[in-house]
Amino acid sequence: MEKFDCIVIGAGNGGLVSALTLQKKGKKVLILEKGLAPGGLATSFRRGRFEFDVRTHELCGYGGVGNNGEIDSLFERLGIDSKIEMMQAQETFHVIDKLTKDEYTMPVGVDHFIEKMEEYVPGSRDAMTTFFGLCEDIKDALSYLHSEKGTIDEKDLYQKFPNFVQLAPYKVDAVLEKIKMPKKAIEILSTYWVYFGSAIDDVSFVHYASIVYSYVLYGPAIPKYTSHELSRALENEFKSAGGTIYYLSEVEKIDVEDGEVTGVQTKDQTFATSHVIANLSPKVVYGKMIQKENVPVENCQLENERILGAREITVYLGLNASLEDIGLHHSTYFLSNNLNSKVEYKKMQEVFHGNVVGFVPNVINAKASPDGTCILTLTSLIFGDGFDKLVSKENYFDVKEQFGDYLIRCFEETTGISIRKYIEEIEIATPLTFARYTGHPSGAIYGYMAKGYDNLLPRIFSEEEETRIKGLRFCGGFGSRLSDFSSTYLNGEDVAMKTLGE
């Protein structure tokens, strides 16, 4: 058996970063990937003359030259910053409230964001200024927590970051109400809740503030050549550093003896190692890859208690006309039935619920598709098992077409923009598509529901306690930083450093 210091299962965002971090620290690392290419959901596919990004709409935390965010800094540490080209949006989002027909377009930059909110909601300036001040405190505190790599001095934390400690137990809605933010400002600000997968009365304020602050401060960014550019850059850097990656190599078993990892088996090979980083759902790892008697009972109980996050339906559209001809002016459209996230969350447990996010990469990158064309992706999240109940083997393709028609109709009716007549290419992905492609249970691409025990801080502080099989850790969307794309990159480095410490 060939022996490796660490084996990473899955070449998704987190897995690639974990593997590259360890390899650059002088360790011998192997990546085993069941598919044909790196990136997991951070990849692309072609239909006709269009190339569609599977899932990565935007990254937050990328500031660009002279304005480094967390993602810029990470890419520098990994050595890929000069090998990729990122492009940045000039606005954060455009939201349409179907209930009132009101529309709001929010800019990039904290000061600009506050000014625009004051324009939409007079009297909101003080509360918005307080909000972003708290966001900055939280960002600094989280940087401290992650830099300590598990050796947190609680007294030091209390002294340096009193706001963070005071706000840690509270949900978003409680804090926004406490700082007297006007109701309409809360609703506009909380538009972004759908990317967290929980309403603002469930999401931790610390988690929400850290992401939204980064999103507004730096603005959304996309890779010029789709997210596959990032994945290939990470893969190439890993191989240049001496790392080994095998594709079409699905892991069938993780060997565990006396509570410690000893190796990994594929269909054809067995590899020896004391450390495994799984860029997979723990439900899959504990349920299929480790013999039942070697899985700690506590971990089984924990997985049974956890609620899977949102499922997704996405319609990819290649349109044979320009942005100007069609009338698409924004990169991100949030089409909401109701700006009250609690009401909207309940409605989104239905399947045909009308909440749609539209993304137009050409607004940020004019060359995202051939001249005279553009791309529009329409995404709808589903909370709960409504899709499973609706779909059968017999009706799957009919339901899939119904979804495509429905999302297009929602976009056209809400925005007043006609797109159907321009469709040259169309592809539809359902939770079944994502389940088959990623292996995630029920196609839940958002990891666990961000509520209660599975909010950010409980996950960070309980990570070591949950590591009951020595040498086994998890990264990616099911890791402690939770599931947005920027977080999975950062989580990959966190897990690598903890593994290195072992």
- For the stretch 144-175, pLDDT in tens is 877 755 566 778 888 889 999 899 899 999 99
- DSSP H or E run through 133: helix 125-148
DSSP 291-355: -GGGS-HHHHHHHHH--B--EEEEEEEEESS-HHHHT---SEEEEES-S-HHHHHHHTTSSS---
Domains and CATH numbers, the chain: 2-47+58-85+224-306+449-501 (3.50.50.60), 111-218 (no CATH), 310-438 (no CATH)
The CA-to-CA distance between both ends of the chain, in Å, stands at 22
Least confident range of 197-206, 262-271, 350-359, 376-385: 197-206
- SS3 state at 100: coil
The mean pLDDT value of the chain amounts to 93
High-pLDDT (> 90) share of the chain, % = 77
- DSSP H or E run through 37: none
- For the stretch 302-316, pLDDT in tens is 999 998 989 999 999
Model confidence at 449, pLDDT cuts 50, 70, 90, reads: confident
- Given strand 29-32, what is the order of strands in its sheet? 244-246, 29-32, 6-9, 276-278, 472-474
Q: Is the pLDDT of residue 475 over 80?
A: yes
Integer Cα distance of 137 and 282 in angstroms:
32
Tokens at 409, concatenated: 């109709």
